[in-house]
Amino acid sequence: MTDAATIPAIGTIGLTKVFKDFWLRPRVVAVDQLDLTVHPQQVFGLLGPNGSGKSTTIKILLGLLFPTRGRVQVMGRLPSDVALKKRIGYLPEESYLYRFLNARETLDYYGRLFGLTRASRTQRIDMLLEMVGLEAVQYRPVGEYSKGMQRRIGLAQALINDPDLLILDEPTTGLDPIGTRQIKDLILELKARGKTVLLSSHLLADVEDVCDRVAILYGGRKRAEGTVDELLTVEGSSLIETDALEPETIAKIERLIEAEEGKSVRRVESQRQKLEQLFLDIVHQAQKEGAATSGALAGGAMAEFLTRDAHLPEQVDGRALIEQLTRPAESPDVVAAPIEPAEPTGPDESVLNQLTEGDAAPASAASPGPNESAPSSEEKREPVDRGVIDDLLGGENKS
Amino acid sequence: MNAAAQSSRPKLLIAYLLIWLAVTAVTALVVLAEMFLGSWTGWITAPLCFVAILAVGRKVLADTGEMPAAKQHLARLAGSYFVVNLVGAFSLAVTEGINPYNALNLVAVIVFINGWLLVALLALARWALTRRHPVLSVARQTLDEARGLRVVNGFFLLFLLLIPMLVFLLSPDQPIRYRIQQFMTYGLGISQFLLAAFVILFGAWTLTSEFTGRQAQVSLVKPIGRGAFWLGKWLGMVILSGVLLGIAALTVYLFTVFYLARQPALDELDALLVKQEVLTARVASPPQPPDNLTNRVDKRMEEMLSTDTGRSLVIERGGQAAVRNEMLQRELAQWRSIGPYRQSERWHQDYYFTDLRRAARQSEFLSLRYKIKVKGDWGVTTKLFLVINDKPYKQIETPLDIVQRQPIPSRLVDDEGRLKITVVNLDPKISVIFPADHLELLYTVDRFGPNYLRGMVIVWIKLSFVAVLVLSLSTYLGFAVASLASGLVWAVATFSPYLLEAAGRFSAKPEDAETVRWATSVVRWVATSVAWLGQQYAAYQPIDRLAEGLYIGWDQLLGCAGWIGLAWSLPLALKAWVVFRRRELAHVQV
């Protein structure tokens, strides 16, 4: 029996894509026997070097490419299902927008395709333009925008329908650190609202900061899958973090560890600030001082319709209002799949059975264990070693 | 509405006002200069004023800062129409030799109406497409794309400029009716050609650029099917071509009816013929072949089948029906030919026209439309004498191989609606013949306006088919190949009658080698087949009929809608849908 709550947001079994040449001879195997399950409310990262099959996988999920072999379902439907698209937002790896339309016209066009009412479109466009910091240049043709500004308007179009599933392909490409931070905040905010996010990237920090689960692709095949902690935790090593210590105290601790455990301290150093944080602090300071800029602004608060309760009167429940605003216009003919907290992400038999229609699912060597669970965004992560990921991507330990 | 948009509105209104004032002032300046100093001043003042307006307009628009792109385009178009205004007025003043002030007023009215009509119709079309249906949204986006591309705006300008420029081709020495016919043929013909080229090029661009620019990867992951997306593109093209065709048609109509038709005619006949033969809608009635003509054919057929030789000849010539038809055509050709004056039994021939009572009631004159051919090189004219209802009517000297018209008073039609015209060949040396379909009596059945409208709808249907064709090819071909292939198909279909005629004459000589004869046969067969496929498209030629003042009936309009709009277009649209659904829209580098 298949319960609606167990329907994965994304499910692929044995997904294979072979690109052929002019004479229909197999040229490149872009995706090879890929088994993937993304549950609702998860932020799932597709990690891999260039040409590993991330974008191909995403384009198959969106119906832009057709699989050579294997099965694909998105929210329980085939990718070619037009009604399904009402619940999906997609940011491609580059912003493929109409150069002759301005930002407002661009968002209006995509809003129309979703069947949003005029009032709804106007409200959302205003909010999104403010959110991505393009309000001041909204009447300038998109063709005149810088790459980063185009990414911002691209992100806005992906959110115009308040999607249940957001697919982001290299979302931080071309963005400054502020934009990058905003994207990460947005992803976490959407996750908190129960949305599902599929994030494709080859930037390790992007994935590490926001993803519940990660699959690492190489050569079209899945090489590893699990939570970030599971993949990055280094066995046989402990880390203690305190405020700055006096040398004498450190010496005492060293002696204590040697006496109790018979082990020595390998390294003691002062904590360093992340470069990203340093950069953000400097820019925020400049903005406080009113320094002028001709580019995109830092961007405003999260669009109201994308948040839970922010900016709303106290007596109004944010989610209820959003649903009231969006439900009639957006998806009259689509029954939204019930959103449940992320299920354990192991090889759920009922999910696989649904995809395979009774066939036994092939066991993946890289499948996660049964005790895995998606951590919440509030969960504090231990500092981890990136060496494992780096090893998988190129064998070069950069830690 | 946000603060930025609100703040730009008052500035925008001021900008429009200033541009409008500048246009008015310059128009007045040019007119005054021409009135008091001579028409030559227009050639100097107009460009100077134009440059000044551009400078002022640019400054004013620049001051408005960030402004909605749509309104920027409107402002640019408004400036462009003013240029068209001036060029048209001066060309009219020079070629027509009329008062520059009047010429300016006339062209100003026409171009002013047209220019703002384009703006208004595009705005109306966008407004009509505001419903939230995805097909309408894509159609609207197609209009926006046209408006946003510089090359398309350049085409708009050329399009509006060209029709007023056609006055250069008109000679004041010609009879009015010829000038009207010439203007209609050139104006509508060039418009039709330009619009077909526009539909082909922009149609190919609007779809193929979705793939090359990858915008389709964003649009088609929204809730719109590929068929609906394609349909939206087609709808946008149809609306766009309709708007442009409407403007061209209105230009020609206004210029013809309110200017050319009111110019002083060469004589009374000229003035009469404008109303009776050009600005009207007439039907053609061919003469009735004699009753005994088919009887003669049947009798000869029976005689042929009664002998063994005849029967084998029938089989050799393709069967009874083919042979009978061949005999019938020969008899009809014989009936349409007239021998030399008093040198043969058939030096005069009677032609009976029937069912003319309604025609006699509705119009003062009927028009005998004919063309004369002779065998051999016998000069450029020949003399005929017409006898109507057994009473001498008129001797005419007529050019050879050119369509001619002879007015016949409708009072000569008898009470039974019959008219007998006896044609006498006055040349004692040569035989003359009326080719098939080139001897007919024309009479009015409708007004020019409704006829003109039906003709333009037919042109629009044909343009819509061209849009289907190019968008269908663009689902799997690139811009260059799709536009070239569409252009080729359009050209073959449009010129299929000429192609058929040429293919019919294309043959190898007996002394040619076997290979050459074989290759010639293949080429001829291919050309004939292709032209045969396209002849249905060429069969609907409303522009020629309008210039001739011929009636375009509802049957023709519905026939065109059925054949071109449905029978030809639907399979192409279906093919496009099938191909588009199966097409992978992304090319991933791995």
**Of B453 and A146, more confident:** B453
Max mean pLDDT among A365-379, B1-15, B55-69 falls in B55-69
A192 assigned to some structural domain: yes
The residue range of the domain holding B483 is 448-582
**Is the CB of residue B323 less than 8 Å from the CB of residue B314?**
yes
What are the tens digits of pLDDT across the range B119-154? 788 888 988 988 888 999 999 999 989 887 878 877
- Asked if B502 and B422 sit in the same domain, the reply is no
Query: What's the structural domain count of chain B?
Result: 3
- pLDDT category of residue A266 using cuts at 50, 70 and 90: confident
Indicate the average pLDDT of chain A.
73
Supply φ then ψ for residue A212, to 5 degrees.
-80, -45
- pLDDT category of residue A264 using cuts at 50, 70 and 90: confident
Domain boundary, last residue among B102, B130, B158: B130
| CATH number, domain containing residue A184 | 3.40.50.300
Rounded mean pLDDT, A304-324: 46
- Asked if B428 and B457 sit in the same domain, the reply is no
Rounded mean pLDDT, A339-356: 40
Looking at residue B371, its pLDDT comes to 92
Domain boundary, last residue among B130, B163, B182: B130
A193 assigned to some structural domain: yes
- Indicate if the pLDDT at residue A322 is higher than 60: no
Of A329, A303, A307, A332, nearest in space to A119 by CA: A329
Residues of A in contact with B142 (CB under 8 A): none
- pLDDT category of residue A352 using cuts at 50, 70 and 90: very low
Interface of A with B in 8-37 (CB under 8 A): 19, 28, 30
Indicate the average pLDDT of chain B.
82
Residues of A in contact with B214 (CB under 8 A): 92, 94, 96
Looking at residue A344, its pLDDT comes to 39
- Cβ-defined contact of A101 to B148 (cutoff 8 Å): yes
- Asked if B477 and B407 sit in the same domain, the reply is no
Rounded mean pLDDT, B66-70: 49
Looking at residue A20, its pLDDT comes to 85
- Asked if B459 and B561 sit in the same domain, the reply is yes
**Of B292 and B550, more confident:** B550
Interface of A with B in 111-130 (CB under 8 A): 112-118, 126, 129
What are the tens digits of pLDDT across the range A113-126? 999 999 999 999 99
Task: Name the closest residue on chain B to residue A120, using Cα atoms.
Answer: B132
Residue ranges of the alpha helices (H) in A212-348?
Answer: 228-232, 247-261, 275-288, 318-330
Rounded mean pLDDT, B391-414: 89
B454 assigned to some structural domain: yes
Residues of B in contact with A51 (CB under 8 A): 589-590
Residue A352: both structure tokens together: 């696989």
- Cβ-defined contact of A96 to B217 (cutoff 8 Å): yes
- pLDDT category of residue B423 using cuts at 50, 70 and 90: very high
- Asked if B382 and B457 sit in the same domain, the reply is no
Rounded mean pLDDT, A83-105: 90
Asked which of A13-22, A265-274, B377-386 is least confident by mean pLDDT, the reply is: A265-274
- Asked if B536 and B432 sit in the same domain, the reply is no
B490 assigned to some structural domain: yes
- Asked if B438 and B457 sit in the same domain, the reply is no
Rounded mean pLDDT, B73-96: 56
d(CA A361, CA A367): 12
d(CA A398, CA B171): 85
Interface of B with A in 195-214 (CB under 8 A): 213-214
Looking at residue B527, its pLDDT comes to 86
**Of B170 and B547, more confident:** B547
- Indicate if the pLDDT at residue A312 is higher than 50: no
Residues of A in contact with B138 (CB under 8 A): 113
d(CA B50, CA A70): 66
Domain boundary, last residue among B397, B419, B444: B444
Looking at residue A37, its pLDDT comes to 93
**How far is residue B333 from each of residues A211, B338, B500, measured CA to CA in Å?**
89, 10, 21
Residues of A in contact with B588 (CB under 8 A): 19, 30, 55-56, 59, 65
d(CA A92, CA B217): 8
Looking at residue A240, its pLDDT comes to 80
Rounded mean pLDDT, B549-570: 94
Asked which of A339-353, B256-270, B486-500, B541-555 is least confident by mean pLDDT, the reply is: A339-353
SS3 (DSSP) at A34: strand
Q: Say which of B147, B148, B215 has its CB closest to residue A96.
A: B215
- Indicate if the pLDDT at residue A280 is higher than 80: no
Interface of B with A in 39-98 (CB under 8 A): 66-70
Looking at residue A24, its pLDDT comes to 77
Task: Name the closest residue on chain B to residue A49, using Cα atoms.
Answer: B590
Interface of B with A in 351-390 (CB under 8 A): none
Looking at residue B546, its pLDDT comes to 94
The residue range of the domain holding A53 is 4-233+272-394
**Of B535 and B16, more confident:** B535
B211 assigned to some structural domain: no
- Indicate if the pLDDT at residue B590 is higher than 80: no
B203 assigned to some structural domain: no
Residue linked to tokens 């070097």: A49
Q: Say which of B215, B221, B224 has its CB closest to residue A88.
A: B221
**Is the CB of residue B396 less than 8 Å from the CB of residue B406?**
yes
Residues of A in contact with B64 (CB under 8 A): none
d(CA B482, CA B208): 9
With a pLDDT cut of 70, the percent of chain B lying above it is: 78
Of A315, A317, A318, nearest in space to A162 by CA: A318
- Cβ-defined contact of A126 to B148 (cutoff 8 Å): no
Rounded mean pLDDT, A369-396: 40
Q: Does A336 touch chain B (CB under 8 A)?
A: no
**Of A367 and B510, more confident:** B510
Residue linked to tokens 């088994």: A35
- Indicate if the pLDDT at residue B237 is higher than 90: yes
Query: What's the structural domain count of chain A?
Result: 1
Greatest CA separation for chain A: 75
Interface of A with B in 167-226 (CB under 8 A): 220
- Asked if B375 and B399 sit in the same domain, the reply is yes
- Residue type at A67 in one-letter notation: P
- pLDDT category of residue A219 using cuts at 50, 70 and 90: confident
Max mean pLDDT among B68-77, B109-118, B472-481 falls in B472-481
- Cβ-defined contact of A64 to B217 (cutoff 8 Å): yes
- Indicate if the pLDDT at residue A263 is higher than 80: yes
B147 assigned to some structural domain: no
Task: Name the closest residue on chain B to residue A109, using Cα atoms.
Answer: B137
With a pLDDT cut of 70, the percent of chain A lying above it is: 66
Looking at residue A153, its pLDDT comes to 92
**Of B92 and A166, more confident:** A166
A262 assigned to some structural domain: no
Rounded mean pLDDT, B530-541: 88
Nearest-neighbour CA in chain A from B150: distance (Å) = 10
Supply φ then ψ for residue A245, to 5 degrees.
-115, 155
Rounded mean pLDDT, B236-264: 88
- Indicate if the pLDDT at residue B588 is higher than 90: no
Residue B532: both structure tokens together: 């045969």
Max mean pLDDT among A58-67, A93-102, B62-71 falls in A58-67
- pLDDT category of residue B264 using cuts at 50, 70 and 90: confident
Residue B151: both structure tokens together: 């090359």
B542 assigned to some structural domain: yes
Looking at residue B305, its pLDDT comes to 86
Of B470, B469, B459, nearest in space to B569 by CA: B469
Looking at residue A327, its pLDDT comes to 44
What's the half-sphere exposure (Cβ side, CA atoms, 13 Å) at B413?
A: 26
Residues of A in contact with B232 (CB under 8 A): none
Residues 6+ away with beta carbon under 8 Å from B354: B285, B288, B417, B418
- Cβ-defined contact of B219 to A113 (cutoff 8 Å): yes
- Indicate if the pLDDT at residue B9 is higher than 80: no
Of A133, A82, A140, A59, nearest in space to A106 by CA: A140
Looking at residue A290, its pLDDT comes to 65
SS3 (DSSP) at A217: strand
What are the tens digits of pLDDT across the range B427-445? 888 889 999 888 999 888 8
- pLDDT category of residue A283 using cuts at 50, 70 and 90: low
- Asked if B452 and B475 sit in the same domain, the reply is yes
